[in-house]
Amino acid sequence: MNNRIQAMYALLIAVAMFVAAWFFMQSVHGGPSSARAAVAARAAAPVAIDSTRCVASAEWMKSHHMQLLNKWRHDSVREGNRTHVTSDGRHFDKSLNTCLGCHASNPMFCFMCHEYANVKPTCWNCHVSPMEATK
Amino acid sequence: MNQQRRDFLRKAGLGAIAGLGAAAGMFPLFALEKTDLSGFSEKPMPGKVRWGMLIDTRKCREGCTECIARCHHDHNVPDFGKTKNEVKWIWKSGYEEAFPTASRQFQQPEVKERKVLTLCNHCAEAPCTRACPTEATFRRWDGIVSMDYHRCIGCRFCMAACPYGSRSFNWQDPRPAVKELTTAYPTRERGVVEKCNFCAERLVKGQLPACVDSCPERALLFGDLNDPNSGLRRALDENETMQRKPELGTLPSLFYII
């Protein structure tokens, strides 16, 4: 009796390990396809900047621009995927320069809000801020 | 130990092994990740680039620093004025410093006195990328050993790992030490390591690296090492070339004509 219960446990563990291994393989399989996309993107055609509208709504950008910048950096620097496609099908180069292409027209654009919110991002320790660029 | 528990553990272990075994048998080969051999292979990999460079030291003019000036200007490389904390992306070293293990005895005195242009070798087996604990430096899909300065914690393991001295550390804030600030490219900050990026920012625009572009003697040849028909590969076919410290197995992407 006891033996049968133990055998059942063994079978259960066998199934559990199989399922775990299966999911592991699935997740690994998802990996290299992004690398392949990166290679395809190597000869990225220059993207004309549509300066009439931002990549997302102002509301969303106010709360999520840092996540967007982090994602853009990861995609363009590490994966080589340089083109951002908005939900309505417009294309943008994933670069801080895309943002500054429009927003640098007001050199205080970043600073005013960061000042108001009392946040001190370290972007301008390295990147040349529009304040310096206009100097 | 309780006999029952031992029996249970034995059976559970067998079950786990059986489960893994069944899983291994059922996965088709294509589900497994392929090893990417493009960095090592002599043969070209379709759709895969590996940027490389051939430096003709015979053409490189004595005393000329065009490429260095252009590169350091375009990338906002600081000049602290001292060799102790020098930051360099591309520089000239003596023949014996560049090729300390070149085996030829009684090398021609003219060659021994020659200055050799040195920069990051963008190794296929880059030791710096293995040393980096934060993956701030990594080998890109196109063979460039790139750096993400945002992630660099300044531990300088990569500097210890690089056998070519291609990496420099910013001991001070580099911004005031940049002579003419280029707004097209960022600077770095205090406490990060920096190095040549093979002009990734120019390549993406379809331009040649600044050093290649600025050389008045056309001593630098840039191209795809994985494409057997590229000008670079043809030049490698035609000339006797050497790499720096090839015995280390780093597989540099830079080649030299002596």
Residues A51-77: tens digit of each pLDDT: 678 999 999 999 999 999 999 999 988
Contact list, B204 vs chain A (CB under 8 Å): 44, 82
Residue A29, strand partner residues = none
Residues A78-126: tens digit of each pLDDT: 888 888 988 888 888 899 989 988 898 888 999 999 999 999 999 999 9
Smallest CA–CA distance, residue B168 to chain A, in Å, is: 16
Q: Map tokens 């001292």 to a residue.
A: B82
- What pLDDT does residue A51 have? 65
Residue in chain B closest to A43 (alpha carbons) equals: B204
Element (H, E) at A32: helix A31-40
A38 compared with B238, residue with greater pLDDT? B238
Smallest CA–CA distance, residue A12 to chain B, in Å, is: 8
- What pLDDT does residue A39 have? 32
Distance CA B189, CA B177 (A): 11
**Could you tell me which of B221, B186, B185 has the C-alpha nearest to residue B205?**
B185
| Exposed e or buried b per residue across B128-161, where buried means at least 16 C-beta atoms within 10 angstroms of its C-beta | bbebbeeebbbbbbbbbbbbbbebbeebbbbbeb
What residue ranges do the domains of chain A occupy? 3-133
Contact B187, B75 (CB under 8 A): no
Sign of CA dihedral A106, A110, A113, A118: negative
Distance CA A31, CA A52 (A): 36
- Stretch 154-193 of chain B: residues touching chain A, C-beta under 8 Å: 181, 183, 186-189
State whether B20 and A18 contact (CB < 8 Å).
Answer: yes
Residues in chain B: 258
**Could you tell me which of B143, B55, B146, B131 has the C-alpha nearest to residue B93?**
B55
Nearest CB among B23, B49, B186 relative to A22 is that of B23
Please determine, for the modelled complex, whether the ipTM score is greater than 0.90. Answer: no
Distance CA B203, CA A43 (A): 9
Nearest CB among B7, B141, B204 relative to A44 is that of B204
- List Cβ neighbours of B183 (8 Å cut-off, separation of 6 or more): A128, A132, A133
Give pLDDT tens digits along chain B (258 positions): 567 888 889 999 999 999 888 888 777 777 777 766 655 555 555 568 899 999 999 999 999 999 999 999 999 999 999 999 999 999 999 999 999 998 788 999 999 999 999 999 999 999 999 999 999 999 998 899 999 999 999 999 999 999 999 999 999 999 999 999 998 899 999 999 999 999 999 998 889 999 999 999 999 999 999 888 899 999 999 999 999 999 999 999 999 999
Contact B160, B199 (CB under 8 A): no
Residue in chain B closest to A22 (alpha carbons) equals: B23
Residue B138, strand partner residues = B146
State whether B12 and A46 contact (CB < 8 Å).
Answer: no
Smallest CA–CA distance, residue B207 to chain A, in Å, is: 11
Contact list, A6 vs chain B (CB under 8 Å): 7-8, 11
- What pLDDT does residue A36 have? 31
Contact B154, B137 (CB under 8 A): no
Nearest CB among A3, A9, A46 relative to B12 is that of A9
Nearest CB among A17, A29, A38 relative to B31 is that of A29
State whether B189 and A7 contact (CB < 8 Å).
Answer: no
- What pLDDT does residue B42 have? 52
Q: Map tokens 């590169």 to a residue.
A: B71
Residue A98's CB is within 10 A of a number of other CB atoms, namely: 17
Nearest CB among B31, B32, B186 relative to A128 is that of B186
Contact list, A32 vs chain B (CB under 8 Å): 33-34
